[in-house]
Amino acid sequence: MSWEELSAREQARYADGTARLAPEQLVRLGNAAYGAGLSLLMLGRAGEAANWLERAAARWRESWEHATPTSWGRPIGTIKATLIAGRDADAADFSGWALELGSEAAESPIGRYAAVLALLVLGRDNEARQLASSLRGRDDFPPAVADALAACAAHDADGYLEAVEAVLASFEARAEFLEDVPVADTVIVLQALAARRGLAAELSSPLLPGSG
């Protein structure tokens, strides 16, 4: 499918969900809005993409009221969506919320991942570095993502470059994506965080906007 077709499909999925809105539909709505936003981003339509990504974040945030206390994918999604949208103030707000939920003390690596993202958004790099180190060397968390987060927090340009290239390679090797929209969204998020620290790498891939 073309990016135009993917965007249209995701927007149709969103419209279908809103037509029969219920609490259990909120995550699906967030996913569809996110897919639409990523597709529009790949088309170079940044303004439209940002609107859909903001919509995704809002739906995921709304869905938390109906979630279990360990549904860390939802706060992660809000941070990622607003970072990709370039909405720094919203990303900071969602980051504060993720920390208020107790993500720093989460037993699961995905919970601590939420906290590391939040701390990096808020510029609390020393704390982020320490927490990111707890994600490294685990079997249940992507090692390259942990390395990229730790290097970003440490302002380690060489380490970040090696790690983010490995994250991109892992996306290029995968067959499944959220909403079947083939975009390396985690790489885009890492690059946004790295850019704030002067670490952003030069990357090219069909899975990244502007280089496919």
What's this model's pTM, rounded to 2 decimal places? 0.96
pLDDT, tens digit, for every residue of 20-35? Answer: 777 778 999 999 999 9
Write down the pLDDT at residue 25. 85
Domain count, the chain: 1
Residue 137 structural domain:
3-195
26 within a domain of the structure (yes/no): yes
CA distance 90 to 122: 11
The answer as to whether 95 is a domain residue is: yes
* Cα 153 to Cα 160: distance, rounded to the nearest angstrom: 9
Please state the φ and ψ torsions of residue 135, each to the nearest 5 degrees: -95, -10
Q: What pLDDT score was predicted for residue 4?
A: 97
State the CATH number of the domain containing residue 108.
1.25.40
Within a domain: 48: yes
210 within some domain: no
DSSP 107-176: SSHHHHHHHHHHHHHTT-HHHHHHHHHTTTT-SSS-HHHHHHHHHHHHT-HHHHHHHHHHHHHHHHH-S-
Residue 18: the pLDDT is 87
In a domain, 202, yes or no: no
Pairwise CA distance, residues 169 & 129, whole Å: 23
Give the whole-angstrom CA distance, residue 27 versus residue 62.
9
Q: How far is CA 203 from the centre of its chain?
A: 18
Integer Cα distance of 86 and 13 in angstroms: 24
Question: How far is the C-alpha of 200 from the C-alpha of 212, rounded, in Å?
Answer: 18
**pLDDT at residue 211 in the model:** 72
Residue 178 lies in a domain: yes
> Does any domain span residue 211?
no
Residue 20 within any structural domain of the chain: yes
pLDDT in tens, the chain (212 residues): 799 999 999 999 999 988 877 777 899 999 999 999 999 999 999 999 999 999 999 999 999 998 888 999 999 999 999 999 999 999 999 999 999 999 999 999 999 999 999 999 999 999 999 999 999 999 999 999 999 999 999 999 999 999 999 999 999 999 999 999 999 999 999 999 999 999 999 999 999 998 74
